[in-house]
Amino acid sequence: MNYGEMKKQCPNIRQNLADCNCSYTSCEKTGLCCRCVAYHRQNRELPACFFPDDVEKGWDRSFRNFIDTWKDKV
């Protein structure tokens, strides 16, 4: 099944898109959170929504950037 078909079948697609802060607008996985998590996990990264908007814009979704972003805020 391609991503377009998956989006048609996902019962959460509208809410997922409303909650998504990802600025990489050409991504075909946008709104398919399960595919987004799986993709970034295999690259040792986290999805955009784990980062504040100003950091997310840099598209560095690495574990290191996640730790650096939040280490003094939790």
Residue ranges that bind ligand SF4, judged by CB under 6 A: 22, 24, 27, 29-30, 36, 39-40, 47-48
Nearer to ligand SF4, 34 or 68 (CB): 34
State in angstroms the smallest separation of the CB of 19 from ligand SF4. 11
Burial category of 61 from C-beta neighbours within 10 Å (exposed 0-12, middle 13-18, buried 19 and up): buried
* Residue among 10 and 22 whose Cβ is closer to ligand SF4: 22
Residue count (the chain): 74
